[in-house]
Amino acid sequence: MKLATVEINGQAHFGAITAQGFIDLGERLGARCKDLVELLSRDLLQEASQIVANTTQADHPLANLKFLPVNPRLDMRMFALGWAYKAHQLEAGKEDLLHPNMFSKHPQSLVGHDQPIVLPKVSDRFDFEGEVAIMIGKAGRHIAVKDAMSHIAGYSIVMDGSLRDYQKHSVTAGKNFDASSSFGPWLVTRDEIDDPKSMVLTTRLNGAVMQHSGFDLMAWDLAELVHYISGICRLEPGDVIATGTPGGVGHRRDPQIFMKAGDVLEVEVTPLGILRNQVVAE
């Protein structure tokens, strides 16, 4: 399934994206489930899948949807990795890491698919980082490696917008300007992806390829990541791990390339889909 959180006529809805359109799971599950996070926490994925399989007519055409971040809740936690691909380590001048290097992204920094990302007025060094994200579906602390994949609900895409001048003195600042990053368009459930390492990520700026890498070149095993982070804190349904970006980011190019107002950025992950956003000036 492709699960998404969308806005229709000013109201948030969650449901499944199909070739026919949007199937509103909130309407069908009623009071048992108010959002995508509760769908996961109440272990309703299988029931949702049956609903989608038995629904012959979508509730809304895709053209009527405004995509929100897959998990738009303000209590969402995103654990983001730095220097997680060898090529990005090399272009950044980093040595091999012994442990994952992480920072947090705040929900306020994220917008949905086809929504504008904002170039802050205080900087002109707005860079792109295309990433694969995983969403936790089952809570756990000190999750064993052998059990870790069962805690993953599915996969999505993150564009980690980075203000490089601010990042030099504060990673938290450089990664968390309001509406500077994006998350979506949807969550592809884990059962749809037989081998996560077969995924391929491509970032395009105004149609030109900036990044292109197989996910198999990411430095950390997904099960090991879940195990590691769950040793720090209890992972909850709806938590997200953004798995880092490959080489090709703008500030490591010669000449450097930064996003400007009017640019269109696309992060495509085969077979997840395309996360697309236009840059606007604050």
The first and second tokens of residue 230, run together, are: 């769950």
pTM value surpassing 0.85: yes
CA 91 distance to own-chain centroid: 23
Determine the topology of domain 78-281 in CATH: Fumarylacetoacetate hydrolase; domain 2 (3.90.850)
Question: What local confidence, expressed as pLDDT, does residue 88 receive?
Answer: 65
* Alpha helices in 122-174, H assignment, sequence order: 145-148, 164-169, 171-174
User: How confident is the model over 92-142, as pLDDT tens digits?
Assistant: 666 677 889 999 999 999 999 999 999 999 999 999 999 999 999 999 999
* Cis peptide bond upstream of 185, omega within 30: yes
Q: CA-based diameter of the chain, in Å? A: 55
Q: Where in the chain is the domain with CATH 3.90.850.10?
A: 78-281
Tell which residue, 158, 159, 136, has the closest CA to residue 222: 136
User: How confident is the model over 62-74, as pLDDT tens digits?
Assistant: 999 999 999 999 9
User: How confident is the model over 191-248, as pLDDT tens digits?
Assistant: 999 999 999 999 999 999 999 999 999 989 999 999 999 999 999 999 999 999 999 9
User: How confident is the model over 236-281, as pLDDT tens digits?
Assistant: 999 999 999 999 999 999 999 999 999 999 999 999 999 999 999 9
Question: What local confidence, expressed as pLDDT, does residue 90 receive?
Answer: 66
Q: Are 177 and 163 in contact (CB under 8 A)?
A: yes
User: How confident is the model over 154-170, as pLDDT tens digits?
Assistant: 999 999 999 999 999 99
